[in-house]
């Protein structure tokens, strides 16, 4: 029997993680959404899976760099408090 996860809240802020791990986790979440989608995902939809202060554009830049065999430009956590 499948569990109903509708009542669970996604902790988008990840306050209990250090800034670098938060950034990596947000990159993973965006990557998961992009790979799970059969069509292009609007930026606003991607912004819903990360903390409101996180830069989706910079997260995507880092994912792009990594996918091309490069390195993430982080640590550059453009997030308040980081």
- The overall pTM is greater than 0.95: no
Nearest-angstrom CA–CA distance, 5 and 29: 17
Nearest-angstrom CA–CA distance, 82 and 78: 7
pLDDT digits over 15-33, tens only?
888 888 888 888 999 999 9
Please report, rounded to a whole number, the percentage of residues in the chain having pLDDT higher than 70: 71
What's the residue count for the chain?
Answer: 82
pLDDT digits over 29-40, tens only?
999 999 999 999
Residue 59 near residue 26, CB atoms below 8 Å = yes
């Amino acid at each position: 029997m499948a569990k109903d996860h509708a009542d669970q809240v996604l902790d988008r802020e990840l306050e209990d993680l250090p800034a670098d791990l938060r950034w990596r986790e947000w990159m993973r979440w965006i990557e998961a959404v992009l790979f799970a989608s059969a069509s292009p995902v609007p930026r606003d939809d991607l912004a819903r899976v990360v903390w409101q202060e996180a830069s989706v554009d910079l997260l995507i830049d880092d994912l792009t760099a990594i996918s091309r065999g490069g390195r993430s430009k982080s640590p550059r956590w453009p997030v308040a408090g980081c």
